[in-house]
Chain A
Amino acid sequence: MSYSLAKVDQIIDGYGADKEALVQILLDIQHEFRWLSREILLHTADRLGLPMNQLYNVTTFYKHFSLVPQGRHAVSVCVGTACHVRGATQLLNRVSQGLKLSPDETSADEKFSLKTVSCLGCCALGPVMVVDGKYMSNPTANEITEIAEECE
């Protein structure tokens, strides 16, 4: 058994292989691997005694779950109303150019994933960008390049 499936087993056992805890289990697995591969979903279904259609039902219902690989660093740009008014479009363009990524894309080396979000609850800082949980208010093109270089 590969390392990843052993880790999945460990997470599932942590919840007593309870199928009621499906969402929580999937959240933990995704936290560990950044996304949910088909192999992992099949294994989870098997362990919990749930059919695959139910796992696809749940994982495609919640936007948080990703069925495609995600980068090591999650970059979010807020395009909510307040940020939009304060220049989110320009910020998104700068970030896209700086990371050479379009929104909802993951770079080929799986370093970054770029996505847009609607409101992060800190409109006074807008337009806002978040890299791995770190909030940045209206970063310049240079700052974005610096951050991109700092990340492993």
Chain B
Amino acid sequence: MSQLSMTINGQQVQVTEGMTILEASREAGIYIPTLCHNENLESYGSCRICVVEIGEGERKKIVASCLYNVSEGLVVETETEKINNYRRIILNLLMHRWDKIPVELLERYGAKRDDRFVDNMTYCILCGLCVRFCREIKGANVLGFIGRGTIRQVVIFPNQAAKYCANSCPHEMECLDYCPTGVISSSYYGSRPADGQPLPHAHPICINEDINILEILERVGNV
């Protein structure tokens, strides 16, 4: 792995090839906010709050820093007016799904409630941390996404849960710790499913049985 030199916020930094901009910035002590990033998991790029501006002059563009790899001579800006505006809009939208976004984040980017957007407090920001944790670390695939756009949601597949939860997470449901909003925790009622038993149904983001996926789709009008 060779060393590269790049510029972040006007500061010359030495980085290792293959790093992402986010990793390079964090190593240099430069703050970039993230919601869907976790060091133990593959980068995913769903929250877009980590966007940064790369390039200079006319060639500037906005990329998700958690997915963009560093290169020699790359010039990165992490806090321009344009980027902060992007972040503010993202937070504005997320506020209507999750009312407990860290206050420092909201204040930093000046995000305020916007009455144009209708509240839909699902407490799920679709960061995919639980889904990816279950797949990448545990290989259990108990959680998954269905649908897309406004109807996209996380579902628990009870057959998989009955098969894998007890073995994969013998002490506690570890995916609960990965959920930034805690909604997964409330979906499980904090309890683990007994072998072969369906999961306690607590929240609309969860479904009871595999086959009920059809009902969910019907309810959200995707069939």
Contacts and interface: CB of A to CB of B under 8 A. Distances in A.
A67 B147 CA distance: 12
A54 B128 CA distance: 13
A53 B141 contact: yes
A60 B147 contact: yes
A51 B145 CA distance: 12
Interface string B61-91: 0000000000000000000000000000000
Interface in B134-177: 135, 141-148, 155, 157, 159-160
A68 interface: yes
A142 interface: no
Given A54-B141, A60-B213, A68 B157 contact: no
A67 B213 contact: yes
Nearest to B140: A51
B153 to A, nearest CB: 10
B222 interface: yes
A56 B143 CA distance: 11
B147 A52 contact: no
A104 to B, nearest CB: 7
Contacts of B155: 53, 56
Contacts of B217: 60, 67
A56 B144 contact: yes
Given A67-B223, A104-B223, A52 B146 contact: no
Contacts of A104: 223
B211 A56 contact: no
A57 interface: yes
B210 A38 contact: yes
Contacts of A53: 131, 135, 141-145, 155, 157, 160
A60 B222 contact: yes
B41 interface: no
B30 interface: no
A57 B145 contact: yes
B55 to A, nearest CB: 32
A61 B141 contact: no
B135 A51 contact: yes
B178 to A, nearest CB: 16
A37 to B, nearest CB: 11
A53 B159 CA distance: 11
B147 A61 contact: yes
Given A51-B160, A67-B217, A67-B223, A57 B144 contact: yes
Contacts of A38: 210-211
Nearest to A62: B148
Nearest to B144: A53
Interface string A40-73: 0000000000011110110011010011100000
Interface of B: 131, 135, 141-148, 155, 157, 159-160, 210-211, 213-214, 217, 222-223
19 contacts: A51-B141, A52-B141, A52-B144, A52-B160, A53-B143, A53-B145, A54-B141, A54-B144, A56-B146, A56-B155, A56-B213, A60-B146, A60-B213, A60-B222, A63-B222, A67-B213, A67-B214, A68-B214, A104-B223
